[in-house]
Structure 1
Amino acid sequence: MSGLGRKAWSTKYQESMMAVGLGTRQAADEEARAEVEVLNSRLEKTRILNTKLSACLGRLETSGKSVKEAVGPLYGNTQKLQVLGTNIDGVISAIERIRQPSDIKSNEEDIIRRGPEKVGLASYLSSVKRLSQALSGLKNTNLRSNQQAVADLSRLLKSGNTQLEAHFQKLLQEESRPLEPLHYITKDKPFPTLSQDKMTRLGLIVSYMASVTRQSGSGDSPLLQQYASVRGPYLTATLQNLSAASINTAKKKSPDAVYRQGTNGMGTYASGMERAFLSEYENVSALFARDEWGKVFNLTCQGAISELARTLRELNSHIKANLTTDCYLAYEIVEIMSNLSSNMESRTGELKPSFAAALKPIRETGKSSLSDLLEDTRRRVANLPVVPLDGASLPITTETMTRLHNMVDFLRPISSIMISIGDGGWKSNAASNNSSDQIPSLKSFDVSADGTDIFCHYCIDTIETLLNALNQKATPVLKGKSALGVFIANNATVVERMIRTSELQPLLSNRIADVDKWRKNGASMYSSAWREPCGHLLDVQYTNRGARPQSGSAQAIDSAAILKSLSSKDKDAIKEKFRLFNTSFDELVAKHKSLSMEKEVRDMLAKQVQQMIEPLYNRFWDRYHEVDKGKGKYVKYDKGAMAGVFLSLS
């Protein structure tokens, strides 16, 4: 396209575009004018509507005033009716509350009257619980009109609780028939506890009564005493035969019979009591609250312990009447009861004071017996009708040592008694003054004291008391020292022998010297009588009259030569010495053989006499036996014959 053409086309295009723009604006203006017309039409309608609404509001306001004037009195009356209705409802509710106790009483009275056995324990408990709740609610209302109802429900509830207590007692009695305890003791079986069924039913009653007691604040539940009133007699009756057996086995067929360990029924009695009490403690623990266990258990066991105390008092009277033979029973009972008390305290924490009070009389007898036995030894020796003139030992020595030997079998209880009275306490009234209501424990003892050592001291004191008393009794009777010495040596030897051949040996082995001194004293007294013949064997030697013979050499002594050097007067003196020696020696030998000696004493004294006489006689014989030239007129014994005499003394 040429330039002229392009220019012409551009001009035409611009003109056409301008024409299109004018057309568009005209269309838009037309559209705007149409919208304005619509809006104006709507505004007019709105104005007309507002006018109508204003007229309606005026008419409504006029009508509202008329309605208000008409309805106002009606609204006030309605409010009054509402208040009246509320008051009527309150009156009806009060009437219902007043009628409720009567309804509760009529509903529950039949159940209470029939009792737990007929209606069943669960239903009965539910009934008394409802009664209790209703009574509590009535008391809280504090209405004067309810006072009679409160009194009626209180009586009904009290009757219900009383029947529950009676039912509790009956359930217990069904399983509280006395048992034969030996069946369980001999088979080493625990005593039976209450059955599970009974325990469940009893537990329900206990739980309910505990809640009643807490609510009323009246202290302990009455079931505590009820339980003890049933199970206490059961325990007492169950153990009754064991109590009787303990007393019967203490009776003696022979007055002099010495009690032997384990022959009394007290050990079985204590075993049965321990088993019965432990089973009862299981029952108490299962039924009652923890803080009630101790009280219920003590109440339940007191009857059986009272019977135990009565039994121990009877046994104590028997022991005191037969103290020298039955004091061991007191020691055994002390040990049995101490073990029982310790076992019960460790398992239950209870009953120790009760056991201590029951045991006290026998403990006091056990303590006083130590000094009483010493005094009995003195008294029996003093009352001996005769003392053997032959110096024989007395039965009381054997009896005294047998008693000490028997005490070793009861060393544990005796040691505890020894510690409680202290070393040497048997010498004074300490044993009787040091009394206590408590079974001794380590805290009450001198922890440094050794009961075994104290017992050893008591044994030595007993031996000293015996031998001193025998010495005092025999001295004015056995005037000769030979017999008195033999008497003391014999009794001391019996004491020593019985120590060495018994259980006393390990206890007194280091105190044998205390006994041996008495034997030596007796031997010394006996040997003093032999000083007389010894004196006849003494002579005078003159060293300036010849060579001195060699010591210990018989061959060096020439009897004939020695006699040849003596004057007739000296020879006569030698003959007299032989004669006097023979007379004195023969008398003492005869006396020796006439005395009654324990084998050990006879051997000891024979050896002692031989050691005194033989060396002197052999020397004298060696020097002067030729004085009668072998005729035997003065020299009765040669050395061989003298040795034979000494052998015959053993």
Structure 2
Amino acid sequence: MVAPRKAALAEESAEVEVLFANMEKLKGLTKRIQGSLNRLETSGKNVQDAIGPIYGNTQKLQTTNSNIDRIIEAIDRIREPLDQRNREERIIRAGPRKVPLQDYMASLDRTTQALADLRRSNLRSNQQAVAELSTLLKTGTKQLEEIFREILQEDARTVEPLHYITKQLPFPTLAEDRLSRLRLISAHVSASFAQMSQTDVRETPTERIYAEIRGDYLTKSLSNLAAASVTTARKTTADAIYRQGTNAIGTYAQGIEGIYLAEYDNLCPIFSREEWAKVYPSTCQSSLNEFTKTLRELNTHIQKNLMTDCFLGYEIIEIVSTLSIRLETKTGELKRPIADSLKPIRETCKASLPKLLEDTRSRVQTLIALPMDGGPVSLTNDTMTKLQTMTGYLSPLSSIMTSLGDGGWSTSSASTSSTSIPTIKSFDVGADGRQLFAHYASDMLETLLSNLEIKSRTLLKGRGLQGVFLSNNVAIVDRMIRSSELQALLGSYAPKLELWRKKATATYLEPWREPSAYLLDVQYTNRSGRPHSGGATTTDSAQIVKGLSSKDKDAIKEKLKNFNTSFEELLSRHKSYKLEREVRSQLARDVQNVIEPLYGRFWDRYHEIDKGKGKYIKYDKSQLASTLAGLG
């Protein structure tokens, strides 16, 4: 047992010795490794000290290279516009006549874009390029403008509007291919111009060129109609009342409407919708100025001949107002300038209404003589002719009278402003318009008849002659009302006219009271022989005459003599009067109604006073009736 244990211990002891020996070797190895690390560290420091400057220089070189690359890129960017300018300059300098239009405008588009990019970059170094590109773009745009002008001038030959109006043909417009080219050019010029101007401009070059060329075309085409409107206003007879439609203003307005609408159809495809409201009025402005000038000349003519040619003013108001409304409806433009051109004539026409009344009054008052046969004065016919003529202008008169106010025409202060633009409603001749005219016409007739009555009392001797004169003038008024549109308009005046007729008749009948008075006698109702009331009675003339005293018989004979003298004198006067047809028959009936019943009764009672000798009784009842009937 002891021997094996010793053997095991000896073995373990040997292993320990081996481990100690290995540990000693490891320590030595560790020392050698530490020495190597120390040497390596020293060598690394030496290497770092040697390589450090080289690495720093390498980084600086890389930064420098990067900066150089960036500088080269910047130089390329700076040179790019110059290179592009050179490329586009060759095309633009060649001009749109040598380069296809599409290519030319594409070059302009690229130039416009390049210029916009340069301006956005805001580099000081690009300022020269900006200036050069701007000059190049301006040159190209100018050349396009010239092409735009040439295309427009190809179709700028004036036309004769009367040809299209009389044949009811549409006014000519630009061809579709030209509209397409003009639209393309206008769009490019507007874009280039906006880039060059850098400000908010009111008018582009193409807008200005279009307005200039087409405006001149409109003005020259309408010039003949403008001249005709002035020429046809000239009077051949000083006192002749203007007849509706004889002035060329209606044709002028038709020409304006037709050619303006055609021009609107031209410009709409060329310009954008935002530009229409600028280009259209600008294009029409020159011809509108000529139209305004023409209206001023016509207004001067109307003012010089106001009493006869105010009707031309009414016609112009209606025609021109309708024109402005129609153009505004179809284009949305021109209503204001056309309405403004009408203002002077509207003012003149407003003044004409009170002046027509005053003229009627003045012409009666300045009469130094009236017809001695009781005939009517020409003034009555003239006045009625004017009122009849007015019925053809109820639309403009309605507007004018509305602005004056009901009855405002009777005072000189009735001149309210008419600067407002007429509307369709103001030209609607409804109940109000007709009523206003009826009031005005009534005032005119009252002015005429009342002044004629006053004048007749001054210049005519005898109530009978005065009554005939007034009756004749009333008859003409009534006749001319019934034979025209006035009948439908002056229904409210009929009662007043009937009063004038009755007044004239009563005035005429005043002298007939004298013979009528001779046919009146006194009857005593308390004496025998009194006729019974009620049923028919038979008058016994012989019995009545027999019952008269000598004094009564002499009185009856004197009455008969006086009656015959007065009656025959009035008959003679009546036959000397100049009576209108209806007045003659009317007055004859009135006289017959007054004289015949009285004479018949008187004759029944006293015809036996001269025993049929005819010394006192010159007319029997049938003879008197026949004589009175002959008055008609």
TM-score range, shorter chain: 0.7 to 0.9
For 2:428 and 2:392, how far apart are their aligned partners in 1?
A: 23
Question: Which amino acid letter does the alignment assign opposite residue 106 of structure 1?
Answer: N
Secondary structure of the residue that 2:112 maps to in structure 1? helix
Specify the alignment match of 1:596 in structure 2.
578
For 1:611 and 1:236, how far apart are their aligned partners in 2?
A: 72
After superposition, the C-alpha distances for 1:462-503 in whole angstroms (9 at most, x for unaligned) are: 111111121122111112000000110111011111111222
The match for 1:125 among 105, 109, 120 is 105
Question: Which amino acid letter does the alignment assign opposite residue 277 of structure 1?
Answer: Y
Question: Which amino acid letter does the alignment assign opposite residue 125 of structure 1?
Answer: M
Higher deviation after alignment, 211-220 or 501-510: 211-220
Specify the alignment match of 1:492 in structure 2.
474
The match for 2:278 among 290, 295, 299 is 295
Higher deviation after alignment, 509-518 or 76-85: 76-85
Does residue 618 in structure 1 map to residue 582 in structure 2?
Answer: no
Specify the alignment match of 1:7 in structure 2.
none
Question: Which amino acid letter does the alignment assign opposite residue 508 of structure 2?
Answer: Y
Specify the alignment match of 1:21 in structure 2.
none
Does residue 334 in structure 1 map to residue 334 in structure 2?
Answer: no
Offset, 1:454: 0.9
Task: Assess, with a 3 A threshold, how the Cα gap between structure 1 residues 131 and 542 changes in structure 2: closer, same or farther.
Answer: closer
* 8 Å CA contact 1:554, 1:622 repeated in 2: no
Does residue 211 in structure 1 map to residue 194 in structure 2?
Answer: no
* 8 Å CA contact 1:353, 1:437 repeated in 2: no
Q: After TM superposition, list the pairs within 5 Å mapping 1:225-244 onto structure 2.
A: 225-244=208-227
The match for 1:392 among 352, 371, 375 is 375
Does residue 383 in structure 1 map to residue 382 in structure 2?
Answer: no
For 1:604 and 1:447, how far apart are their aligned partners in 2?
A: 37
Task: Assess, with a 3 A threshold, how the Cα gap between structure 1 residues 319 and 85 changes in structure 2: closer, same or farther.
Answer: same
Does residue 153 in structure 1 map to residue 133 in structure 2?
Answer: yes
Specify the alignment match of 1:173 in structure 2.
153
* 8 Å CA contact 2:325, 2:423 repeated in 1: no
Question: Which amino acid letter does the alignment assign opposite residue 118 of structure 1?
Answer: K
Task: Assess, with a 3 A threshold, how the Cα gap between structure 1 residues 641 and 561 changes in structure 2: closer, same or farther.
Answer: same
Offset, 1:66: 12
For 2:526 and 2:115, how far apart are their aligned partners in 1?
A: 136
For 2:557 and 2:120, how far apart are their aligned partners in 1?
A: 133
Offset, 1:115: 2.5
Task: Assess, with a 3 A threshold, how the Cα gap between structure 1 residues 436 and 114 changes in structure 2: closer, same or farther.
Answer: farther
Question: Which amino acid letter does the alignment assign opposite residue 130 of structure 1?
Answer: R
Secondary structure of the residue that 1:410 maps to in structure 2? helix
Question: Which amino acid letter does the alignment assign opposite residue 351 of structure 2?
Answer: S
Specify the alignment match of 1:200 in structure 2.
180
For 1:197 and 1:544, how far apart are their aligned partners in 2?
A: 115
For 2:483 and 2:593, how far apart are their aligned partners in 1?
A: 29
After superposition, the C-alpha distances for 1:303-348 in whole angstroms (9 at most, x for unaligned) are: 1111111111111222222233322221111111111111111111
For 1:140 and 1:518, how far apart are their aligned partners in 2?
A: 91
For 1:301 and 1:321, how far apart are their aligned partners in 2?
A: 30
After superposition, the C-alpha distances for 1:163-203 in whole angstroms (9 at most, x for unaligned) are: 33333223222222212222322232322222222222222
Secondary structure of the residue that 2:224 maps to in structure 1? helix
Specify the alignment match of 1:416 in structure 2.
399
Specify the alignment match of 1:308 in structure 2.
291
Does residue 354 in structure 1 map to residue 334 in structure 2?
Answer: no
The match for 1:637 among 619, 622, 627 is 619
Question: Which amino acid letter does the alignment assign opposite residue 541 of structure 2?
Answer: S
* 8 Å CA contact 2:395, 2:427 repeated in 1: no
Offset, 1:250: 2.0
Secondary structure of the residue that 1:362 maps to in structure 2? helix
Offset, 1:65: 7.0
Q: After TM superposition, list the pairs within 5 Å mapping 1:87-98 onto structure 2.
A: 87-98=67-78
After superposition, the C-alpha distances for 1:29-78 in whole angstroms (9 at most, x for unaligned) are: xxxxxxxxxxxxxxxxxxxxxxxxxx9xx99x989979987977665554
Offset, 1:445: 9.4
For 1:414 and 1:140, how far apart are their aligned partners in 2?
A: 64
For 2:115 and 2:578, how far apart are their aligned partners in 1?
A: 99
Higher deviation after alignment, 267-276 or 132-141: 132-141
* 8 Å CA contact 2:398, 2:427 repeated in 1: no
For 1:608 and 1:146, how far apart are their aligned partners in 2?
A: 111
Question: Which amino acid letter does the alignment assign opposite residue 191 of structure 2?
Answer: S
For 1:607 and 1:523, how far apart are their aligned partners in 2?
A: 11
Moved over 4 A (4+): 61-78, 442-449, 551-555
Task: Assess, with a 3 A threshold, how the Cα gap between structure 1 residues 543 and 66 changes in structure 2: closer, same or farther.
Answer: closer
For 1:564 and 1:144, how far apart are their aligned partners in 2?
A: 145
The structure with more radius of gyration: 1
For 1:498 and 1:134, how far apart are their aligned partners in 2?
A: 82
The match for 2:162 among 171, 178, 182 is 182
Question: Which amino acid letter does the alignment assign opposite residue 585 of structure 1?
Answer: F
For 2:427 and 2:251, how far apart are their aligned partners in 1?
A: 29
Specify the alignment match of 1:528 in structure 2.
510
Specify the alignment match of 2:21 in structure 1.
none
After superposition, the C-alpha distances for 1:207-245 in whole angstroms (9 at most, x for unaligned) are: 223334555233233332222122111111111111112
Specify the alignment match of 1:369 in structure 2.
352
For 1:137 and 1:554, how far apart are their aligned partners in 2?
A: 125
For 1:477 and 1:136, how far apart are their aligned partners in 2?
A: 93
Specify the alignment match of 2:568 in structure 1.
586
Does residue 456 in structure 1 map to residue 438 in structure 2?
Answer: yes
Offset, 1:452: 0.9
Question: Which amino acid letter does the alignment assign opposite residue 548 of structure 1?
Answer: R
Specify the alignment match of 1:3 in structure 2.
none
* 8 Å CA contact 1:419, 1:445 repeated in 2: no
After superposition, the C-alpha distances for 1:340-374 in whole angstroms (9 at most, x for unaligned) are: 11111111111111011111122222222222212
Offset, 1:446: 11
* 8 Å CA contact 1:206, 1:223 repeated in 2: yes
* 8 Å CA contact 1:121, 1:201 repeated in 2: no
For 1:610 and 1:443, how far apart are their aligned partners in 2?
A: 55
Secondary structure of the residue that 1:176 maps to in structure 2? coil
Offset, 1:157: 2.4
* 8 Å CA contact 1:181, 1:272 repeated in 2: yes
Identity, in percent, stands at 54
Q: After TM superposition, list the pairs within 5 Å mapping 1:207-286 onto structure 2.
A: 207-212=187-192, 214-215=194-195, 216-220=198-202, 221-286=204-269
For 2:525 and 2:52, how far apart are their aligned partners in 1?
A: 175
Offset, 1:283: 2.4
Offset, 1:94: 2.7
* 8 Å CA contact 2:471, 2:501 repeated in 1: yes
Question: Which amino acid letter does the alignment assign opposite residue 328 of structure 2?
Answer: E
For 2:425 and 2:181, how far apart are their aligned partners in 1?
A: 45
TM-score of the pair, normalised by structure 2: 0.87
After superposition, the C-alpha distances for 1:255-292 in whole angstroms (9 at most, x for unaligned) are: 34332222222111111111111122222221222222
Q: After TM superposition, list the pairs within 5 Å mapping 1:523-602 onto structure 2.
A: 523-550=505-532, 556-602=538-584
After superposition, the C-alpha distances for 1:113-166 in whole angstroms (9 at most, x for unaligned) are: 332223233232222333333333333444443333333332222233333333
List alignment gaps of at least 5 residues for structure 1. Answer: 1-54
Question: Which amino acid letter does the alignment assign opposite residue 640 of structure 1?
Answer: S
For 2:115 and 2:520, how far apart are their aligned partners in 1?
A: 122
* 8 Å CA contact 2:398, 2:429 repeated in 1: no
Specify the alignment match of 1:428 in structure 2.
411
For 2:428 and 2:256, how far apart are their aligned partners in 1?
A: 31
Question: Which amino acid letter does the alignment assign opposite residue 630 of structure 2?
Answer: S
After superposition, the C-alpha distances for 1:349-400 in whole angstroms (9 at most, x for unaligned) are: 1111101111112222222222221222122222334201111112221221
Alignment: residue pair count: 592
For 1:144 and 1:312, how far apart are their aligned partners in 2?
A: 60
